[in-house]
Amino acid sequence: MTSKRRSPMSKPKTWSVTVVLLAAALMLGGCQAKDRAGGTADVTATELRFASTSDIPQQITAWADEVDQLSNGSLKITFVRDQHAGQPDYEVQVIDDVRSGHVDLAWVGARAFDQTGVTAFQPLLAPMLIDSLELQGEVFDAGIPQQLLTSLDQTDLVGIGILPGPMRKVLGIHKPFTKPSDFTHQVVGIQASAVAEQTFTTLGATTKAEPPEASLDGLDAYEQQLSSIQGNRYVDHAEYVTGNLNLWPRPLVIIGNPDAYQKLTDDQRTILTTAAKDAIGVATEAERTADARAIASLCKSGLTFEQASNADLANLHKALVPVTDTIHQQPGNAAVLDQITDLKNAIHRAPESADCAKAESTDQPLTTRYDGTYEMTIVWPDVKTEDARCVEGPEGGPGGAIYEMEFDRGTWRQWVRVGGRGATRELGAEGQYRFFKDQLQILEVDGSTTTWDYTYTDGELRLSNPRNPESGVECIARAIFTTKPWIRQ
């Protein structure tokens, strides 16, 4: 049934307000820090305004969650919509905004820095070198991307951290792109990058830099990740993806304004960088799950995943050697390329492949050991906590309430029966979920993501420490989800 009962999970989003205030607001502000019980402490929280040009990636949400947890709420990351999202050079403009102090923090793809004269990140983007999430994970485990952050020290930027990102593939509008000759005289959309431009011009194509969520008008192909192809509904206008051609990953670099960074305490600076390292594992798994869901959705929508032959891949690799040679010649890049190549040779695996045959089995891995229906029964007037007072009206009355929560192959729903088991079952909220090692992420239909710590023992699911860096968590949500354990039915 459709319910008019508003979700208790989070507050209304405030993107429109922060857009208006972006240019004029002070970059460092004060607000009260939250304690672990969800109340407020006497410590004044430091607000850092973080520019994002589009929807906030799960990798960045994971980092912000870690910042909140490590700082116990004393550092507040406030996401603001950057005004450059519709422009092809948006990432360079975001970098300029951080450098000039218009915002405190931002993220950009590692690809963007060669547009500003910094070539240290190019080895991560060498064509067809890092060709799987597994290899990218090995590269991060070896600490290679983190070492490259020091290249920003002389550029009026602070490298806060770097997180693994999606593999970029080739979307063919009306034909597949599996061999070098397929690119000749074709127009290929890219996100602005010297590596991407040289890659496709070397193959005989013309490049066109595009902003996020661009249309496919005028393009023959587009360099994109699977989740964007799905989310932007490119399947409505394009027919093919080359499933086993992985051009490069798109690592996410978190950058900061030096003056804002220096105003923080030593402990706060350490929290920002430590949170980035701690979020690497969650970011990798989030990307793996996003790819699996995107493949399943795209296959159902009729997109064809064409596979390049081994000979085709070898010919593409050979044709792109001049691009890798250019990267190799930049100061410091040769040693990094050698390190990555050694890791690739050590794991000795084929390029990551996306195809519909695998998509047929992607539903099963998305079923977790925690899938099922859980129940929590409570009489709120009997609960003597501050959060319990937030549950008002009939729901908070003496008749009690029965809450149900369902996890079903990636879909999450929560219901309530006000007044007992015979009462009408009302849908309170729904969305998607991901279970990680000790964290649960719930993405509601309005786009709001809340992360909870959890424990699970003998059929009891206990949630605690909710974080939603974008819009906060209301006390009614803390009350409903954390007051008592949820019992598996």
Strand partners, 402: 377, 417
The C-alpha atoms of residue 407 and residue 353 are separated, in whole angstroms, by 28
Task: Please check whether residues 464 and 381 belong to one and the same domain.
Answer: yes
- Output the pLDDT for position 367: 61
The C-alpha atoms of residue 485 and residue 207 are separated, in whole angstroms, by 55
- Output the pLDDT for position 18: 29
Q: Is residue 171 part of a domain?
A: yes
CA-CA-CA-CA dihedral for 348, 350, 352, 354, to nearest 10 = -160
pLDDT digits over 233-259, tens only?
999 999 999 999 999 999 999 999 999
pLDDT digits over 258-310, tens only?
999 999 999 999 999 999 999 998 888 888 888 988 999 899 999 999 999 99
The C-alpha atoms of residue 290 and residue 287 are separated, in whole angstroms, by 5
Q: Is residue 124 part of a domain?
A: no
pLDDT beyond 70 at 10? no
- Mean pLDDT, range 59-85, rounded to an integer: 88
pLDDT beyond 60 at 41? no
Task: Please check whether residues 345 and 427 belong to one and the same domain.
Answer: no
- Output the pLDDT for position 464: 94
- Output the pLDDT for position 11: 41
pLDDT beyond 80 at 7? no
Of residues 45, 103, 51, 54, the one with CA closest to residue 79 = 51
Task: Please check whether residues 147 and 110 belong to one and the same domain.
Answer: yes
Contact predicate 241/228, CB 8 Å: no
Contact partners, residue 464, CB within 8 Å, separation at least 6: 452, 453, 454, 482
Task: Please check whether residues 347 and 453 belong to one and the same domain.
Answer: no
Instruction: Report how far Cα 23 is from the mean position of its chain's Cα atoms.
Output: 25
Task: Please check whether residues 183 and 316 belong to one and the same domain.
Answer: yes
pLDDT digits over 112-129, tens only?
999 999 999 999 999 999
Domain's final residue, options 359, 391, 418: 359
- Mean pLDDT, range 166-179, rounded to an integer: 98
Task: Please check whether residues 81 and 186 belong to one and the same domain.
Answer: no
Task: Quote the domain boundaries for residue 111.
Answer: 15-118+139-160+254-280
Q: Is residue 21 part of a domain?
A: yes
Task: Please check whether residues 231 and 145 belong to one and the same domain.
Answer: no
Task: Please check whether residues 434 and 408 belong to one and the same domain.
Answer: yes
E strands along 379-424, which residues?
401-408, 411-418
- Output the pLDDT for position 166: 96
The C-alpha atoms of residue 11 and residue 468 are separated, in whole angstroms, by 9
Q: Is residue 143 part of a domain?
A: yes
Q: Is residue 134 part of a domain?
A: no
- Mean pLDDT, range 168-177, rounded to an integer: 98
Average pLDDT score, the chain: 87
The C-alpha atoms of residue 119 and residue 148 are separated, in whole angstroms, by 10
The C-alpha atoms of residue 296 and residue 55 are separated, in whole angstroms, by 21
Of residues 458, 329, 480, 465, the one with CA closest to residue 395 = 480
pLDDT beyond 80 at 16? no
Domain's final residue, options 335, 359, 383: 359
Task: Please check whether residues 216 and 304 belong to one and the same domain.
Answer: yes
Task: Please check whether residues 430 and 482 belong to one and the same domain.
Answer: yes
Signed CA dihedral, 123, 127, 130, 133: sign only: positive
pLDDT beyond 80 at 168? yes
- Output the pLDDT for position 17: 25
pLDDT digits over 371-430, tens only?
899 999 999 999 988 888 888 888 888 889 999 999 987 889 999 999 988 899 999 888
- Output the pLDDT for position 227: 92
- Output the pLDDT for position 366: 52
- Mean pLDDT, range 460-481, rounded to an integer: 88
Task: Please check whether residues 309 and 391 belong to one and the same domain.
Answer: no
Task: Please check whether residues 105 and 176 belong to one and the same domain.
Answer: no
Q: Is residue 131 part of a domain?
A: no
Contact predicate 30/47, CB 8 Å: yes
- Output the pLDDT for position 33: 54
What is the DSSP-derived secondary structure letter of residue 14? -
- Output the pLDDT for position 258: 98
Share of the chain above pLDDT 90, in %: 65
Task: Give the total number of structural domains in the chain.
Answer: 3
What CATH number is given to the structural domain containing 381? 2.40.128
Q: Is residue 1 part of a domain?
A: no
